[in-house]
Amino acid sequence: MKRRTFLTSAVALTTAACTSRPRLNVYNWSDYVAPDTVAKFERETGIRVRYGTYESNNEMLAKVAGGNSGWDVVFPSAEYIGPMRDLGLLQPLRHEWLHNLDALDSYFRFPPWDADLRWSIPYMHGVTGIAYQRTLPTVDSWSALWDARLAGKITMLDDPPEVLGACLKLLGYSVNSREPDQLRQAQRAAVEQKRLLRAYLNAEARDQLVAGDIAAAQAWAVTAGQAIASAPERLAFAFPREGFARFADTMAILRESRRIEAAHRFIDYLLRAEVSAAIVQATQTATANAAALRLLPEATRENPVLYPSRETLARGEWFEPQPAALQRLRDRLWTEIKSS
């Protein structure tokens, strides 16, 4: 075969392969789908998925902020939706392609951060509290994470709003405080705490809790729930009496995406009650999907770490986006905490 003919055939073959097998790039938190969720979607739709995971909003944002990351679908926490939209990073959603929207719990159908779900679809939710070893005396306050007797066996989340939020709550303030003086007091509490810390950890805290290397950890309910499921006799979760943050992680499509239809198909697939229920069973998360919840066994629906009572939840606060100047102050305080 002549070189020119060969090249033409190779290009034709490659083009055929690309057009016959559409692709989608999905970037999600770790442990947020069941082991077979993506493979089943690929089999059902013929869409090939490149699936990557991250451990924090900042990690995701750092990748996608430039607008040419190559990812299509991401899972930002609720308070990141407004800022990401304002930075032009998000694609408006086409509800006519989302046939399973009615599966959502009525609260999450009209959430305060994106009331008409124009930019994001709620996926999972939870609270941030304290995962701890049952051998400790009563843990019911953020002050447990400042207990010098636990030095070297305490971890905090590697997440600026969460750490500042816990410090603000310890001091009796809102996690969303916009008072520079309160934020500076919170920073001092974080710096003072640092000498007691083993590390700032997100998902990695789970295995260390199970192994007994961590005595008490600031943890997302989902991570704590997974750890507790592995060692229920040894681990427990506290909703601190001073109050705590609530989080909702959402599904969104990046403005840079050239695979908008496939991206909507993936989101709609995750909204399907059976798919969502299987994810919740496999990952021990709290879902925003009411239809999925109805399919789950009572023990899952009534897991008090994932689905606490209305009274307990009333002590929580959703994170809110911050005005730009205060966000810059918070970023600076966090950098100083990390480098102190």
Comparison of 33 and 293: residue with beta carbon closer to ligand SPD: 33
Nearest approach in angstroms of CB 212 to ligand SPD is 21
Comparison of 53 and 141: residue with beta carbon closer to ligand SPD: 53
Planar angle of CA 109, 122, 168, nearest 5 degrees: 110
Nearest approach in angstroms of CB 124 to ligand SPD is 7
Nearest approach in angstroms of CB 12 to ligand SPD is 43
**What's the rounded Cα separation, in Å, for the pair 85 and 87?**
5
Nearest approach in angstroms of CB 222 to ligand SPD is 5
Comparison of 93 and 205: residue with beta carbon closer to ligand SPD: 205
**What's the rounded Cα separation, in Å, for the pair 160 and 182?**
15
Interface with ligand SPD by CB under 6 A: which residues?
29-32, 77, 203, 220, 222, 247, 249
Contact by Cβ (8 Å): 171, 271: no
H/E segment holding residue 45: helix 37-45
Identify the burial level of 256 via C-beta atoms within 10 angstroms of its C-beta, where 0-12 means exposed, 13-18 middle and 19 or more buried: middle
What b/e string do you get for 1-33 counting C-beta neighbours within 10 Å, with b at 16 or more? Answer: eeeeeeeeeeeeeeeeeeeeeeebbbbbbebbb
Nearest approach in angstroms of CB 203 to ligand SPD is 5
Comparison of 203 and 209: residue with beta carbon closer to ligand SPD: 203
Comparison of 32 and 97: residue with beta carbon closer to ligand SPD: 32
